[in-house]
Structure 1
Amino acid sequence: MTLTSPNDIIDVDIDSHEMAPLHMWGPMFGEHSDRFAKILEPAMSRFGASANNFDRPGLTDTAPITAETVWNERGPGAPGAFDFDRRLAVLDAMGTETQLVFPSGAMTAFGALLGGELRQTFLSGLEYDDYAPIIEGLIDEYNAWAARETTARGNRLRFVALLHGANPAEMITNTEALLAQGIRALHLPSGIPPAGVSPADHALHPLWRMIADADAAVVTHVAGQTGFLASAAWNQAPEFAPGKVESTEVGFEPLSMSVVHAAAVNYLSAMILGGVFERFPTLRFGVLEFGAYWVGHLAETLDVWGTRVFRKRVSGVLSAKPSEYLARNVRVSPFPFEDTRSYFERHPAVADCFAYCSDYPHVEGGISQKQVFFDQLQPLGDDVLRRFFSENGRLLTP
């Protein structure tokens, strides 16, 4: 069958979000979430009428589910933004088989806890010791909610838990508990070392083994890169002032967006060159909402260092080229405005990395993004379309 429309494809969506308005955080998640919503409320005024504004008093998830709304409405007012019985109907309208669901408010809170630009943006003037316990409680509440929702919704909606730990033993214990509750995907921030150690540190071997054996996925998402830069001063210049679009996940201006992938590149490089995917060949890893423009270059870079400069040393750790681990174990989500077609043409060795996401209902995901990607990739044929929209993403949704 020749594919002539995105409606011909049942997709796997590796990045979407819950996006509950502030007044729903308490009823949905718990008391710590409600307290943090009140802390965050003053900062929301900067978003004004933007769809990225969480402060929507009295909003209910009742928008009609139509082709127009699911492809064009964004923010908490989009259908199924926080009612997940309705999200299942949205998936039907979009032609989506399975969807990873990340937090919105909890992701912002988690990023602020790590430090960097999100803390400066949303919690400026507040004492860290005053809000840190609230955020820690919020994360526990969100994870408990994610586990309940995953169990209730079955295979189609996979709710991503936020993984943290002060040391490897604590992180391993937390992971064991989350997996036992039914969690199938775990977010680790890329801006700081996991549990204070390198991702390749042997103390984390039990973590990677546990996740691989559970057939779960490890994912790192934008907002988790905060803390990677030692200073938040880099974008403090008039040229980098926020523009018309703002995000609660990342500073949406030229400098921040141009380097947003750097933390994920560093994290992945440590995992690949440190032999994590060699030791745990079934470990599934996603890098989401960092774009995909950097993947081909990373593959070439790691192959230079891993097969030429450090060939003898790395041969004791890796049995394949670094780019081969990228293709086998890692999936990334391009933005709709990227030239995704050129990635398949220029970097066939890592073409399996590129997978579809909607980012629903966030503004940054664009509108009618499935049609945009389809139009880009259709000239490459049905095989590429099926790989991008369905087959590649299944690595993260087994």
Structure 2
Amino acid sequence: MPYATGRVFHDADSHVMEPADWLAAHADEALKARLGQRQTAERIEQGVATARARKGDAEASRTAAENLISGPKGWVAYGAFDAEERTRALDELGFSRQLVFATSSLGPFRTSSNPDVLYGGARAHNRAMAAFCADERLIGVAFVPLDDPKRALEEAEEAIRLGCGAIWVPSTPAGERSPGHPDLDPFWQLLADKRIPFMLHIGPGSRVLPAEYTNNGKPRSPDLHGGGENLRFKDFVVLPFSAQMFLAALIYDGLFDRVPDLRGGVIEFGAAWVPGFLRQLDLGYRSFGKTDPLIKAFSMKPSDYIRKHIKFTPFPGEDAGYLIRDAGADLFLFSSDYPHPEGTNDPIGRFERTFEGLSEDDRERFYSKNFEEMMGAF
């Protein structure tokens, strides 16, 4: 019996857990050595080795495939990086579609000051993602930096040609430009024309907490799961700020009026902040609208741009029912975060416990319809 039953479920956030050689296998020759130098923790290497050894053990594979949500997560999880396993994992999970994001493979190139490394790494990532997502139910999320508008357009075109179904862009300035700068209009227009949504997702560059705040005279705290690679409390508190700045820039710069068919998702930033963000946007609109010519040119109030163009994934621990009742059923998406442990051992159950009083249409929107709208109904 699949984990998810009784309705259509689309999963707006899942991941591939990349082995150390994941990028290099798909890189151009000049970058193979550079992108093959990823350093991984011993526990990750052990997880990859365990998962690969399981491949030849029918009983171990069967046990892992039947214990997905409540079983081991991370690199040892079933389908974590093996495409054949992932197809069966999707059957066992019961999801009709699943967006697939990178986990750690952006690190070797994302912050490089060399544009050839930055964009060459992105192309290697996108090739690897397209290969992993050969099953049409898996929607590979390409990664495209916006620093160079011309190269961003080229990489987006190539990612779409490869079969990627969404484009992850950093929730940061686009090099020295705002992401709503007209120089990037051809990139955004391509996505709109091809019905390919952009994605914001936690990752390199999305954390806005200055490093000085970690210098508190105390030992470094463990991360969310007791290790060293993930979020800490201070990071978590400011997690959505980069997404808020990015979206505010797109609205203020008039992008959604210039590219009215563009759609996007804000994934794994949580959503408890969304109702207040909508109110803050509209307060600014009322406060500055009489004097600011850019705001006077808006065709609708800022919160309406968000409702038309953007969807959000709540964390399983948030009161998603309250968010829907407060901000509306048209904004939020279901996600499992598989095989990351943050997705918990029962995301559907956790969301459902907050859904008292919601209608069947509200639930349908959350589990499938909003996803289909974001994706252009495939």
TM-score under structure 1 normalisation?
0.81
Q: Which residue matches 2:279?
A: 300
- 1:376: how far off? 2.0
Q: Which residue matches 1:255?
A: 234
Report if aligned partners of 1:356, 1:388 keep a CA contact under 8 Å in 2: yes
- Code of the aligned partner of 2:128: W
Q: Which residue matches 2:341?
A: 363
- The whole-number CA distance in structure 1 between the counterparts of 2:366 and 2:100 is 19
Report if aligned partners of 1:23, 1:57 keep a CA contact under 8 Å in 2: no
- 1:172: how far off? 1.9
- The alignment partner of 1:69 has SS state of coil
Structure 1 segment 96-115 matched on structure 2, within 5 A: 96-111=95-110, 113=111
- The alignment partner of 2:355 has SS state of helix
Q: Which residue matches 2:360?
A: 382
- The alignment partner of 1:327 has SS state of helix
Structure 2's unaligned 5+ residue stretches are 56-60
Report if aligned partners of 2:65, 2:88 keep a CA contact under 8 Å in 1: no
Structure 1 segment 199-278 matched on structure 2, within 5 A: 199-226=179-206, 228=208, 231-237=210-216, 238=218, 241-243=221-223, 245=225, 251-278=230-257
Report if aligned partners of 2:141, 2:166 keep a CA contact under 8 Å in 1: yes
Output one character per residue of 1:223-256: Cα deviation in whole Å (capped at 9) or x when no partner. Answer: 1444745x4222232286224615787x421101
The alignment status of 1:78 with 2:60, answered yes or no, reads no
Report if aligned partners of 1:286, 1:331 keep a CA contact under 8 Å in 2: yes
- 1:378: how far off? 4.7
The alignment status of 1:333 with 2:310, answered yes or no, reads no
The alignment status of 1:69 with 2:68, answered yes or no, reads yes
Output one character per residue of 1:151-185: Cα deviation in whole Å (capped at 9) or x when no partner. Answer: x322x111111102542222222222322333221
- 1:207: how far off? 1.3
Q: Which residue matches 2:58?
A: none
The alignment status of 1:196 with 2:195, answered yes or no, reads no
The alignment status of 1:180 with 2:171, answered yes or no, reads no
- The whole-number CA distance in structure 1 between the counterparts of 2:175 and 2:152 is 7
- The whole-number CA distance in structure 1 between the counterparts of 2:228 and 2:165 is 25
Output one character per residue of 1:297-333: Cα deviation in whole Å (capped at 9) or x when no partner. Answer: 1100011111343246355431111111111111111
Structure 1 segment 39-50 matched on structure 2, within 5 A: 39-41=38-40, 44-45=41-42, 48=43
Q: Which residue matches 2:49?
A: 58
Report if aligned partners of 1:29, 1:141 keep a CA contact under 8 Å in 2: yes
- The whole-number CA distance in structure 1 between the counterparts of 2:104 and 2:46 is 11
Q: Which residue matches 2:8?
A: 10
- The whole-number CA distance in structure 2 between the counterparts of 1:57 and 1:329 is 38
The alignment status of 1:139 with 2:136, answered yes or no, reads no
- The alignment partner of 1:264 has SS state of helix
**What is the RMSD computed on CA atoms of the aligned residues?**
2.9
Provide the identity percentage. 27
How many residues matched? 363
- Code of the aligned partner of 1:56: G
Report if aligned partners of 2:332, 2:366 keep a CA contact under 8 Å in 1: yes
Output one character per residue of 1:198-233: Cα deviation in whole Å (capped at 9) or x when no partner. Answer: 02211111111111001001101101444745x422
Q: Which residue matches 1:290?
A: 269
- Code of the aligned partner of 1:386: E
CA spacing shift, 1:97–1:223, aligned 2, 3 Å:
same
TM-score under structure 2 normalisation?
0.85
CA spacing shift, 1:24–1:215, aligned 2, 3 Å:
closer
- The whole-number CA distance in structure 1 between the counterparts of 2:154 and 2:224 is 43
Structure 1 segment 88-167 matched on structure 2, within 5 A: 88-111=87-110, 113=111, 137-150=120-133, 152-154=134-136, 156-167=137-148
- Code of the aligned partner of 1:98: R
CA spacing shift, 1:88–1:6, aligned 2, 3 Å:
closer
When structure 1 is superposed on structure 2, of 67-76 and 282-291 the one drifting more is 67-76
CA spacing shift, 1:365–1:146, aligned 2, 3 Å:
same
- The alignment partner of 2:317 has SS state of coil
- The whole-number CA distance in structure 1 between the counterparts of 2:265 and 2:343 is 17
Structure with bigger helix share is: 1
Output one character per residue of 1:68-99: Cα deviation in whole Å (capped at 9) or x when no partner. Answer: 22443211111111122322222222221111
- The alignment partner of 1:219 has SS state of strand
- The whole-number CA distance in structure 1 between the counterparts of 2:265 and 2:109 is 18
Report if aligned partners of 1:33, 1:138 keep a CA contact under 8 Å in 2: no
- Code of the aligned partner of 1:144: R
- The whole-number CA distance in structure 2 between the counterparts of 1:176 and 1:98 is 23
- The whole-number CA distance in structure 1 between the counterparts of 2:67 and 2:200 is 31
Q: Which has the higher contact order (CA 8 A, sep 6+)?
A: 1
Report if aligned partners of 2:290, 2:296 keep a CA contact under 8 Å in 1: no
- The alignment partner of 2:164 has SS state of coil
- 1:391: how far off? 0.9
Q: Which residue matches 1:352?
A: 330
